[in-house]
Amino acid sequence: MSAVITGVDAHSPAYRAGLRAGQTLLKINGVSIRDVLDYKFYAYEARLKVQIQEPDGSGRTVLVKKQDGEDPGIAFEDYLMDKARSCSNKCIFCFIDQLPKGLRDTLYFKDDDARLSFLMGNYVSLTNLSSADVERIIKQRISPINISVHTTDPQLRALMLGNPRGAEGFSVIRRFAEEGICMKCQIVVCPGINDGKQLEKTLEDLSALYPMVGSISVVPVGLTRFRQGLHPLKPVEGPCAREILDISDSIGEACLKNTGSRIVYCADELYLKAGAELPDMDYYEDFPQFENGVGMLTALKDEFNSQLSVMTAPKQKLSQAIATGLAAQPIIKSLVDAAAAKCNNIDCKVYGITNCFLGESVDVAGLVCGGDIIKQLKGKPLGSRLLVPATMLRHGGDVFLDDVTPAQVKEQLGVPVLAVPVEGSQLLDALCGDI
């Protein structure tokens, strides 16, 4: 545990009680605090007897008075107050195992931590949970939890996760449902392994647990060119993508009729691979799986077109370019063309970048690398700047997946790089030169 206090908000309940940086939190109301979840749970009450250790090793107890649910105002040296739990699985489809050597260390860390699922929205496999962890989740009402399911067949799940404990996953999910723990589920489809009848059964098993299983995303497996020595897998291609859509939509329609919610949603990538039209906005209800790439392009198009109908045309012509993934390139180009048709001062070329770094089957924008942008756009007309979706860059916007920086792209191509959030209004503002 790392419960050293690094800061106390001025005028907060903790500050008024005399807590200061440098002290270590030991217990709240007599309960030892193991990590951030314990802290949040036991610090909820209005009166807290907080046992601390001073920097000199002495201990004392202070009384913190506040409102129920009010944050005491304490910051710790580590957000989790503990080490993140790394993944013990050997998933046959693990994307991290398919990365080349030599990238920054953080790209190779596999977390499988239910605390990060609750706090940050990360997806977990449940194989790291002890029986005590399960009981704590139920007791503390840690909900929702995002779960990577892939299949509800015990033996097949153990195979896919490369971990015998994978077989226990669906029984834990059922227990959580019985105890009122909300879950969001994800299925990574690997052709010939968990598609077809297996996918149908998995979707039926999970959707039967509604409303505790509130939504299920279905996404295609991502395969790079660095799969030497790994489990043989086939990519999701046109006919397979269409079959996945048919199965998912059939069960989703039945769910909509029976429960009022579709529950099952396919990633945008599946529609693109199948050559199918993206659903409209109403299809996605409240976009419960947006962070999984479910409905992002529909939302982008809808917001872009809404803003386009009321846009003020730029007074001066701005020539620029966009770099995106091959999958999204036709959609982005159609939006740019619509804007250019309304205003002849908008001049923007859209380039789809082939992913040579990871392999040409990787065609999503978020995995396009800076080196590929440089090689493929050098000498091309780019105008005064290059727009890229913000998803191409690490959180903070400072580096592409291959550790190439926007500054290096600018140096090689001779134009500045602007990262644009994947939002329709932001894209239109960028086209008009407003950002």
Q: What is the pLDDT of residue 27?
A: 92
Average pLDDT over residues 343-363: 94
Task: Average the pLDDT over each of 26-40, 70-84, 126-140, 367-381 and give the range with the smallest value.
Answer: 70-84
Residue 81: pLDDT above 80? no
Q: What is the pLDDT of residue 119?
A: 56
Q: What is the pLDDT of residue 2?
A: 62
Residue with tokens 């070329």: 349
Residue 48: pLDDT above 60? yes
pLDDT in tens, 193-204: 999 999 999 999
Residue 180: pLDDT above 90? yes
* Distance from C-alpha of 87 to C-alpha of 109, rounded to nearest angstrom: 8
Q: What is the pLDDT of residue 208?
A: 98
Residue 397: pLDDT above 90? no
Confidence grade of residue 395 (pLDDT, cut at 50, 70, 90): confident
Q: What is the pLDDT of residue 64?
A: 94
CA–CA distances in Å: residue 202 to residues 117, 157, 186, 206, 305: 21, 11, 11, 6, 37
pLDDT in tens, 90-131: 999 999 899 998 887 777 767 665 565 555 567 889 998 889
Stated pTM of the model: 0.84
Average pLDDT, the chain: 91
258 versus 83: which is more confidently predicted? Answer: 258
CA–CA distances in Å: residue 9 to residues 12, 17, 113: 5, 12, 28
Neighbours of 352 (CB within 10 A): 19
- DSSP letter, residue 283: G
- DSSP letter, residue 225: S
